[in-house]
Amino acid sequence: MNPWDKSVRSTPSKRSAERPWPKLLTRPTVPMPVVGQERAAAPIATGSEWTMPILEKFDAALIRHAQRNGLVTFPVQYEVITADQMLDLCSTVGMPVHYAHWSFGKHLVSQERGYRKGLSGLAYEIVINTNPSLVYLMETNTLALQVLVMAHAAYGHNAFFRNNYLFQQFTQPDAILDYLKFANGYVLDCEQRYGWREVEKTLDCCHSLSSYGVDRYRKPKSLSARRESERLAERLRFAERHFNPDYAYLFEKPKQAEGSEEAVPFEPQENLLYFIEKRAPKLAPWQRELVRIVRKVAQYFYPQRLTKVANEGAATFWHYTLLHDLYDAGQVDDGFMLEWLSNHSDVVAQPSFDAKHYHGINPYALGFAIYRDIRRICQQPTGEDREWFPQLAGRDWRESIHFAMANFKDESMIEQYLSPKVMREMRLFLLHDDEEDRSVYAVKAIHNDQGYMRVRQSLAAQYRPEFFQPTIVVARDGADHDRALLLQHRVESGRLLDADSASDVLKHAQTLWKFDVVLEEIDAEGNRLKIHRT
């Protein structure tokens, strides 16, 4: 029995008697996948032991089901690794090559400790957006878990990486590993030439600004390690060949005529690191390269930050679907199903807001619920669905899912697809934290008809990057006499910057800029609310 119902019954009150929602549905309403005609005579494997040939057989089976479901993916390369290697990987945001930095070591030692003490488990899987896609399987996983990981990562995530517009626009899966190898070598080289302290200092500064090293709208130029090396070598050659202090003035850019700067007003720029790389007055060339590396890496990870719910939801939905397909085809047995379902339900568990282990909305749970509901709406629409989702009701569910995977990020997906039913099941409600009264949160809307749109919009807004990351722009060219860099924080609904972290970050920015850095907080009307200086 659901504990919520019990507690409701035990404390009958007037208010709970008029609760506006129907009784919780106890039975899942998503239909099981259609039973296939052909059934295998015996499961591919039973028990929890696995071998490479067994995994290959499972992959062959998964390919078939994935193709039947119309999944388009990059080719896959599985790598079987140990727990220690998994720890290593986790410490470098999953990338098998990365430049060396102490912060990765910090993550490593803290994760290591948690893992050794049994406080935290390890990630089951890591998948990297490369072509071919790298999927890491940990050796300690059981057979059911390995197959779960394969379906989740090698087909779910992989298909998302391949088809989602953000990934197509902002990442180059063909080039990233080569680029990181180049970055690794370059950082090592710099450490040898300029000393590790200097290199670390520069990287620290870049890291603190890395969320602002991203082009959010422009398609970045494609990555290529070879081109980067060539560019550097060419620049060095040119400098060596042509440098002569007597004639240096010949190569200086012609000064612009007075007043022409007035003619072209400075446009605010959002890519801070790009601006610093190009315009910082006194940065050494190798430091500019480091800035560039950090912003390229940040750019590569940018889509992942925008698609947590959509990406994890798709992967979870597809492992759920593909593994059920395996079951329907008689390729796995009941024990296998029970085992991965148990893991699956841990992954998609959503503790309620007042539970002890509540850590925000679980992207797996929300994403999975949304995708699963898209399928339900397509296959078994209710009147409510026809009203809200006329474009989905009765359509081919595979097409609709692929469309949802390809064309949305978290914000827009929630805005488009969060159905009243999912909202009821997750019991979402909207709170307002007002500056006037900090002692309480006011409940603004709940999952009823009147509240639906409002909760949905607010939840979508919660996944806007501006919600969790203040908007900062470079507001003035630092070319005037004091060469100060002017940054502006575009304040939304009165939310100011945390002063301590702002002053730390400004110090880092100043280290790169080498002159004063000023950060103004400006509201929508252009009033200056606060000013931070280094």
Partner 1 sequence: MSDLVAPNRYMRIVDRRADPPGRGTVNRERFVRRFKDEIKRAADDEFAKRSIKDVGRGGRITIPGRGLKEPYLHHDDETGDRDFVLPGNREFIPGDTIKRPQGGSGKGGDGDEPGTGEGRDEFGFVLSRDEFLSLFFDDLELPNLERTRFGEVTMERSRRAGYSRDGSPGNLSPAMTVRMSIARRIALRGAINRRLAELEEERAGANPARCIEIDEEFERLVRRRDSLPFLEDVDRRYRSRAPMPAPATRAVMLCLMDVSGSMDEHKKDLAKRFFALLYLFLERKYGQVEVVFVRHTEKAEEVDEQTFFYDPQSGGTLVLPALQLAHQIIEERYTGEQWNVYIAQASDGDCGLDDGRQSANYADEELMPVVRYFAYVDIPSVTGWFVRPSDLWQSYEAIASPAFARRQVRARSDIWPVFRELFARKEATA
78 interacts with partner 1 by CB under 8 A: yes
When asked if residue 438 is in the footprint of partner 1 (CB under 8 A), the reply is yes
Piece of 83-91, 162-170, 256-264, 279-287 that binds partner 1 (CB under 8 A): 83-91
Using rule CB under 8 A, residue 16 touches partner 1: yes
Asked if 102 touches partner 1 (CB under 8 A), the answer is: yes
The identity of residue 417, as a single letter, is Y
Counting contacts by CB under 8 A, is residue 473 touching partner 1? no
Please report whether residue 440 would count as binding partner 1 according to CB under 8 A. yes
Residue written as token pair 């409600």: 429
Q: How far is the CB of 460 from partner 1 (least distance, A)?
A: 9
Each residue 47-66 as x (binds partner 1 by CB under 8 A) or -, in order, gives -----x--xx--xxx-xx--
Largest Cα–Cα separation, the chain: 91
Q: What is the rounded CA–CA span in Å between residue 283 and residue 59?
A: 51
Q: Specify the residue, 97 or 123, whose C-beta has the smaller distance to partner 1.
A: 97
Give the shortest CB-321-to-partner 1 separation in angstroms. Answer: 18
Q: Could you tell me the smallest distance in angstroms from the CB atom of residue 407 to partner 1? A: 23
User: Encoding tokens for residue 14?
Assistant: 């007037």
Residue closer to partner 1, measured from CB, 283 or 428 = 428
Output the CA torsion sign for 240, 244, 247, 251.
positive
Q: How far is the CB of 19 from partner 1 (least distance, A)?
A: 8
211-230: contacts with partner 1 (CB under 8 A):
211-212
Q: Is 354 in the site for partner 1 (CB under 8 A)?
A: yes
Q: How far is the CB of 267 from partner 1 (least distance, A)?
A: 21
Report which of 408, 411, 407, 495 is spatially closest to residue 459, judged by C-alpha positions. Answer: 411
CB 397 within 8 Å of CB 378:
yes
- The least distance separating partner 1 from the CB of residue 138, rounded to whole angstroms, comes to 10
Dihedral (CA of 166, 169, 175, 176) sign: negative
Size of the site for partner 1 (CB under 8 A): 115
Residue 120 one-letter amino acid: S
**Strand pairing report for 517-522 and 485-490:** parallel
φ/ψ of residue 183, rounded to 5: -60, -45
Closest by alpha carbon to 310, among 196, 387, 418, 438?
Answer: 418
- Quote the least distance from Cβ 9 to partner 1, whole Å: 12
Identify which range of 94-102, 219-227, 374-382, 390-398 contacts partner 1 by CB under 8 A.
94-102
Q: What does DSSP assign to residue 354?
A: T
360 binds partner 1 (CB under 8 A): yes
268 is a site residue for partner 1 (CB under 8 A): no
- Is the separation of the CB atoms in 26 and 319 below 8 Å? no
Long-range pairs of 19-23 with CB within 8 A, sequence gap ≥ 24 = 20/446, 20/448, 21/424, 21/427, 21/447, 21/448, 22/424
**CA 509/CA 512 separation, integer angstroms:** 5
Q: Is 455 exposed, middle or buried (0-12, 13-18, 19+ CB in 10 A)?
A: buried
Contacts with partner 1 in 503-532 (CB under 8 A)? 504-505, 508
Q: Is 409 in the site for partner 1 (CB under 8 A)?
A: no
Segment interacting with partner 1, rule: CB under 8 A, options 74-82, 160-168, 238-246, 383-391: 74-82
Binding segment for partner 1 among 255-263, 277-285, 335-343, 469-477 (CB under 8 A)?
Answer: 469-477
Contact 294, 287 (CB under 8 A): no
Applying CB under 8 A, does 14 fall inside the site for partner 1? no
Considering the rule CB under 8 A, would residue 468 count as an interface residue with partner 1? yes
CB count within 10 Å of CB 502 equals 19
d(CA 227, CA 178): 11
Nearer to partner 1, 400 or 463 (CB): 463
- Residues in 413-432 that interact with partner 1 by CB under 8 A: 426-432
**Judged by CB under 8 A, which of 333, 477, 492, 516 binds partner 1?**
492
| CA atoms of 202 and 401, how far apart (whole Å) | 44
- Indicate the residue among 244 and 352 with the shorter CB distance to partner 1: 352
Measured CA distances, 174 to 99, 177, 230, 241, 294 (Å): 18, 8, 18, 34, 19
User: What DSSP element (H or E) covers 490?
Assistant: strand 485-490
Check binding of 19 to partner 1 (CB under 8 A): yes
| Listed ranges 70-78, 121-129, 234-242, 244-252: which one lies at the site for partner 1 (CB under 8 A) | 70-78
194 belongs to the binding site for partner 1 (CB under 8 A): no
User: Is residue 39 involved in binding partner 1 (CB under 8 A)?
Assistant: no
Which residues face 137 on adjacent strands? Answer: 80, 125
Cβ–Cβ < 8 Å for 89, 104: no
What does the per-residue mask of binding to partner 1 show for 302-321, with x meaning CB under 8 A?
Answer: ------x-------------
Of the pair 502, 512, the CB lying nearest partner 1 is at 502
Whole-angstrom distance, CA of residue 301 vs CA of residue 298: 5
